[in-house]
Structure 1
């Protein structure tokens, strides 16, 4: 990672919006787009319509609009100001409503359709423009313009608008969810001190005096489920977390009913058929067969893993007739410690957040020919259009990097990368990559550079220690950074194909492939650095804390510790994948009912919990006499409302592609810069600008195969 600062050719975006300006800017963008649509309809006729006058202007308008619209919608995930978050949500709703209106304009569809029919004879069109025209035309048909005008089409439009509203409300409830439980320090026995020490304390003279507030945010929830020795407390926390956001239960049900109705209006047998026809899988049958086959292959392994975990539970508690959902993270962690000598706490001491990030960026530099320069202090003022460095970030904790090509790749500017890594109230609660501004070719032929943000929730540093990552958090960070790199190095003509704008059952593959670097001994070593070496202050802190004058540990991770990580890569893998299979199967089940009445009658919570028990084989509260309505996990499942509907299987099917790419090309030498650059140019650069199967076959020099995936899982 370089430190030499040079001014990028494009200023970074500004984050100076107010609640008022968010709405005003949105209204301006919508008015500009609408004026363009009316102008084209007035000036172009079906007879003279072609790509350049009937479709290209909208793509260019899309490009320009996306420079502002992504950021306008981004505030709801990151702003500390509730008014700004509310305005961002409201603005997104306005944009969604407008997008629905625009994509249902028959007058424009007729022009695009005419242009599409003529383009076969137009030799001047490049492949990406042809793809754009084809996708745009198909988009209008998928938005109901194949339905004759009248009550049916009006109903379809109303469904689309309501679905957009449901999605926004559902996600907002998840982002702003602030529930938790008051627990005594005794109840939290076993939970790491750095977690317990960070919990809010109850006020004196109130019923919560002497207790601690445990939230459902990941940095509180996961360590509690992994380390809390009291099974009743784990059960209480697990069940409470499955019951958060109760308002989302109705929203989820309404969404699957409306999706089904909408798909049937378009002439599809169900929503899954409608969603999957454009993806790599093409049909629900392909997906169902894949999930069914995987389930058959994984089930015996899952049962075997449960038997071993039950033995461990019996050794600990003296009884183990049942193995509960809230047992799993605890005994999984215990097994890793006892049988594999995996010392999570000791491992995390070698992954301080900041040096882990530097290590990861170094890997990407070497592999893809990139150069990351952190922008701090006065350099922020120098590149900000307002001259104020604070204006180029949305929160003071955010880090900004200018990304350049190295000399071998031409030395040009690539884009901006932002890292927002710690939890805050009102902030998006998982780990994700958000595109802030896509890259594309501008009308004058010059390139517009992308900006992308990683939003994560890792624990904050304390005065005595930096933020330390568990190994699974290192994998998460590397995965999300993989999406960020995809977003940065993509080179497409149009913003709509930029970066991670691929089909949903391919989008995870590039990031999943990069996770393999976190399981390679040489890479783990290069990523690691014991926190006591970071600064003289930390060295002193370590020595002050060390018991009996123990010596300072080695600076990079010792081989025996690395070995203990590698040995655990596939421990309880079947159970992990069965959990993913539960999500994927549930998603397909609710989106391919036999009839509309079936989805209306569906008891969603019962279906979710029954399926989980059937597939994951873990016991739930139903084993303690509760009925299947003890929790509603679907109400906390943002993916199925936010774009992964009838698409969650993509996490598993992308793994097929990612395993194939890694084993075929990188396994023998993960740091092969020549292959890294070939991967950058063949796969990442293309974004969604060509058929994803073509991209994959070009990189592999053959059709993809499932063999590496099953071998990796020990199933072949």
Structure 2
């Protein structure tokens, strides 16, 4: 078990993996538009591959080996580096909502100057210097647009959200223009074809080819009218996808009135909208729909909720428009379908390979699936006291409810009891011990600066090298000059107006600076845990524990990844492989040694029992 390896063995494994197999991962790096797990696909990613869901590359190649720093002697020095930072997310100058558009304009002006330097100096400029300037363009964009994406997803203040959206749209236009900039493409093309010499290491080569491929996917080969059309189509597709995935429509959300006699089964957070007669008006979103389908015993109410959400006309209309715009993009780019366009440059290579895999997987699962459907049918027949011959077909709105009913009482009791041993604070302590013992990384809570947070529930952590590491191991994990590996914000409590689900956001990518120092990444993990009634701290289910470990896997990927270029930083790798580190992290939830290291009853302090 990994937990029993200890951090030294794990560090050896990471070093071997990153120096060998990650080279092949880089080959798959191409354009991609992602938003950590919720996936908001935005403009083509020549200059930006977004946070979520989001996902990037880890490297300890030449760039990492060149950055060797002394280990810090005073942990207090680490915090001192950031004490002067003010503003939202610790970003200097981001103190008011109006600062977002201001920073977007400053970024756009800086990008214009960098672009001019590349174009005017392309004849004499060293190839590696050109890559550095192009990465500076990418970094200037990401520092603002990634922060804007997080803000519009989690901030409780509408003014902050609106200004973040404005900044996002301003830079979205800049991205589209850059992705189809023929002069930049020609400069890069000359660099790749004729001036890649002995001074280029493997990472430099991957950076050059990745940028070139992204340009070509952005339509740079088209004439001016064609490029402009692609820009407009991509902007439209980005806006439509955001509307669809986040339920952000001009029209009101669909709603459903839950009768008073069903109120007792509703989650606590839904009862806030209870009327005087005991009925509850519920706005239907992805989260609320799933919750209703699990607990409402009345089939007609479940059916009404399911159909109201999925047949909501703004939702259907947005999806149809998105599919149409995507098909136009694919045809403009000379692909037969958007699936062909989206999969090009990925490890899967073609939609046919993906389809074959899914059909093969489906064939393997069908026998078991049929057995489970029969179990659900019997549960429905028994639950509704249907006579033999009566219809007990399982409909889409039945699966969540009868899946819970079909579980044994002992199983349900165990699921409820396990929460008592997984208070969020204990879980975070356990993850901290895991990072320390297995990866040699210390996670320490620190105070938020003035204006740095966006909700009272937000917590801030600094991740540094463990004191238990020896000097040889420290050299393989370059940090900033104070020993900092990265900053991590945790925003894990459900609240109104917040992005639903769970996600890993990048606020600042790691990269090598011109002075030879490594700039650590700044990240945010977002969740939606609901505290039980009269308890301020959430008690996690086993599934929520897995989810939190999954998102920590994304964060760890970004924290320990070391690249010269921010364009290749952290989780910025192909979507084919981005979920590997996060999925591997989930396996710790099944390790008894790990669970027993922290799981204690939130009242008695008793350790979790194992049979």
TM-score of the superposed pair, with normalisation by structure 2: 0.78
Q: Name the structure 2 match of 1:673.
A: none
Q: CA deviation at 1:123?
A: 0.4
Asked whether 1:103 is paired with 2:170, we answer: no
Partner of 2:381: 314
Pairwise CA RMSD: 2.6
In structure 1, how many angstroms separate the alpha carbons of the residues matched to 2:268 and 2:412?
Answer: 24
Matched-pair contact (CA < 8 Å) for 1:75–1:84: yes
Q: What is the match of residue 440 of structure 1?
A: 511
Matched, 1:400 2:478: no
Matched, 1:236 2:304: yes
* Pairing of 1:302-381 with structure 2 (within 5 A): 302-319=369-386, 321-338=392-409, 340=411, 342-376=413-447, 380=448
Q: What displacement does 1:49 show? A: 5.3
Does the C-alpha gap of structure 1 residues 400 and 187 become closer, same or farther in structure 2, counting only changes over 3 Å? same
- Give per-residue Cα distances to partners, 1:255-297, cap 9 Å, x unaligned: 2222222222222222222221211111112111111111111
Q: Aligned-pair distance for 1:53?
A: 4.3
**TM value normalised by structure 1:** 0.67
State the secondary structure of the residue aligned to 2:180.
coil
2:209 pairs with 1:142: no
Distance in 2, Cα, partners of 1:375 & 1:179: 41
What is the CA deviation profile of residues 518-544 of structure 1, one whole-angstrom value per residue up to 9, with x for unaligned ones? 12333333342212146xxxxxxxxxx
Deviation at 1:417, TM superposition (A): 0.9
What's the offset of the Cα at 1:86? 1.6
Match of 2:149 among 46, 69, 73: 73
Aligned pair partner of 2:351 in 273, 276, 284 = 284
3-state DSSP of counterpart to 1:456: strand
Structure 1 pair 308/527, CA: closer, same or farther in 2 (3 Å)? farther
Q: Which residue pairs with 1:21 in the alignment? A: 99
Conserved in 2, the CA contact under 8 Å of 1:75 and 1:85? yes
Label 1:138 to 1:197 Cα distance change in 2 as closer, same or farther (>3 A): closer
Cα displacement (A) at 1:371: 0.5
Are the equivalent residues in 1 in contact too, given 2:254–2:283 (CA < 8 A)? yes
**1:337-393 C-alpha deviation (Å, 9 max, x unpaired):** 3374653222212211221222122222222111110113xxx4xxxxxxxx23221
RCO higher in structure (CA 8 A, sep ≥6): 2
Structure 1 equivalent of residue 497 of structure 2: 426
SS in 2 for 1:186: helix
Question: What secondary structure sits across from 1:210 in the alignment?
Answer: coil
Structure-1 residue corresponding to 2:271: 199
Distance 1:513 1:115 in 2: 38
* Counterparts of residues 402-481 of structure 1 (less than 5 Å): 402-407=462-467, 408=469, 409-410=473-474, 412-460=483-531, 462-464=533-535, 466-481=537-552
* Match for residue 160 of structure 1 among 205, 209, 234: 234
Q: Is the 8 A contact 1:188 1:230 kept in 2?
A: no
- Report the CA distance shift for 1:460/1:485 in structure 2 as closer, same or farther (over 3 A): same
Q: Deviations over 1:36-63 (max 9, x none)?
A: 2123322333xx4542343321112323
- Which residue of 1 is the match for residue 20 of structure 2? none
The 2-side partners of 1:35 and 1:250 are apart by 41
Q: What SS class does the counterpart of residue 145 from structure 1 fall into?
A: coil
2:607 maps to which residue?
556
Map Cα deviations across residues 99-124 of structure 1 (whole Å, 9 max, x no partner). 1101211111111100111244x001
Q: How many residues align?
A: 515
Residues 666-700 of structure 1: per-residue CA shift (max 9 Å, x gap): xxxxxxxxxxxxxxxxxxxxxxxxxxxxxxxxxxx
Q: Does 1:51 align with 2:127?
A: yes
Give 1:306 deviation, angstroms: 0.7
Which runs of 5 or more residues in structure 1 are unaligned? 381-388, 535-554, 561-716
Cα gap change, 1:108 to 1:220, in 2 (>3 Å): closer
**Equivalent-residue separation in structure 2 for 1:478 and 1:131 (angstroms):** 30
For 2:81 and 2:567, locate their aligned partners in 1 and report how far apart those are by CA, in whole Å: 20
Partner of 1:711: none
- The Cα of 1:6 is off from its aligned counterpart by 5.3
Contact 2:375/2:406 (CA < 8 Å) preserved in 1?
no
Structure 1 segments of 4+ aligned residues over 6 angstroms from their partners: none
Q: Call closer, same or farther: CA 1:425–1:224 in 2, change over 3 Å.
A: same
2:525 alignment partner, SS class? strand
Q: Give the drift of 1:502.
A: 1.0
**Equivalent residue for 2:207?**
132
Q: Does structure 2 retain, via aligned residues, the 8 Å contact 1:5–1:373?
A: no
Q: How far is 1:483 from its partner?
A: 1.1
The Cα offsets for residues 3-53 of structure 1, whole Å up to 9 and x where unpaired, read as x865336426730443321111101101110122123322333xx454234
- Which whole-Å CA distance do the structure 1 matches of 2:184 and 2:493 have between them? 45
Query: CA separation in 1, counterparts of 2:407 and 2:598?
Result: 21
2:86–2:95 Cα contact (<8 Å) kept: no
SS of residue paired to 1:373: strand
- Following superposition, the deviation at residue 85 of structure 1 comes to 0.9
Name the stretch that deviates more: 292-301 or 340-349. Answer: 340-349
Aligned equivalents of 1:101 and 1:350: distance in 2?
53
Structure-to-structure mapping, 1:81-120, within 5 angstroms: 81-120=157-196
* 1:635-714 matches, cutoff 5 A: none
- Relative to 1, partners in 2 of residues 1:367 and 1:23: Cα closer, same or farther, differing over 3 Å? same
